[in-house]
Structure 1
Amino acid sequence: MLKVIAACGNGMGSSQIIKMKIEKVFKKLKIDVQIHHTSVGEAKTQASSYDVVFCSEALKNNFAQAEKSGTIIIGLKNLLSEQEIEQKIAENIVDKK
């Protein structure tokens, strides 16, 4: 099971929306995940204990340290696009298995 964080600036609305969207795409791809949503500040401190972090493309640089430790950081240009989420999952997770 993959451990995933959905992060946004405040950890409220946007991260919940990202969580719902990525949950739907992972389910479609039949990939078992556990998803937590939170603020970028909290996610930065926890990211290295997760397999994947989803956030806005603009916030991706906040996770450089976690990326060095092996966490996959996925920046999204359109947080509502299931097509973009599916493409990024394919490129960063499915193709690397």
Structure 2
Amino acid sequence: MMKILCVCGLGQGTSLILRINVENVLREMGIEADVENTDVSSASAEHPDYIITSNELAQSLEGHSSKIIIVNNYFDTNEIKAALEANLA
């Protein structure tokens, strides 16, 4: 199963909101995935298929083995859906 990590600065509030929105969008798209949320420093030690984070935090994850998907508004399910559609293989 595909593994997706939703990342914010502290791994608390915003990444949880992003995770819930990503799970909802994936369900609408009919895609099954294991979605988790964490902070940026923990994310660098993990190896999911995809990391979803903001443009700002993506810079600190440069060179990571996972494919990084940029979402700037964690509340905007349309942006999340467009980002997922453009990046999921």
Q: Which bin holds the TM-score, normalised by the shorter protein?
A: over 0.9
- C-alpha separation between the residues in 1 aligned to 2:51 and 2:35? 10
Where do 5+ consecutive residues of structure 1 fail to align?
none
Aligned residues: 89
Moved more, 71-80 or 21-30: 71-80
Counting only pairs closer than 5 Å after superposition, residues 2-81 of structure 1 correspond to structure 2 as: 2-46=2-46, 49-66=47-64, 69=65, 71-81=66-76
Superposed structure 1 runs of 4+ greater than 4 Å apart: none
SS of 2:11 mapped into structure 1: coil
Instruction: State the alpha-carbon separation in 1 of the partners of residues 75 and 50 from structure 2.
Output: 18
Tell me by how many angstroms 1:19 deviates. 0.3
Shift of 1:39: 0.4
Q: C-alpha distance in 2, partners of 1:35/1:86? A: 15
TM-score, length basis structure 1: 0.87
Report percent identity of matched pairs. 27
- Give 5+ residue unaligned stretches, structure 2: none
Q: 1:58, 1:75 within 8 Å by CA — same for their partners in 2?
A: no
- Give me the CA root mean square deviation: 0.9
- Considering fraction of residues, name the structure with more helix: 1
**Post-superposition shift, 1:77?**
1.4
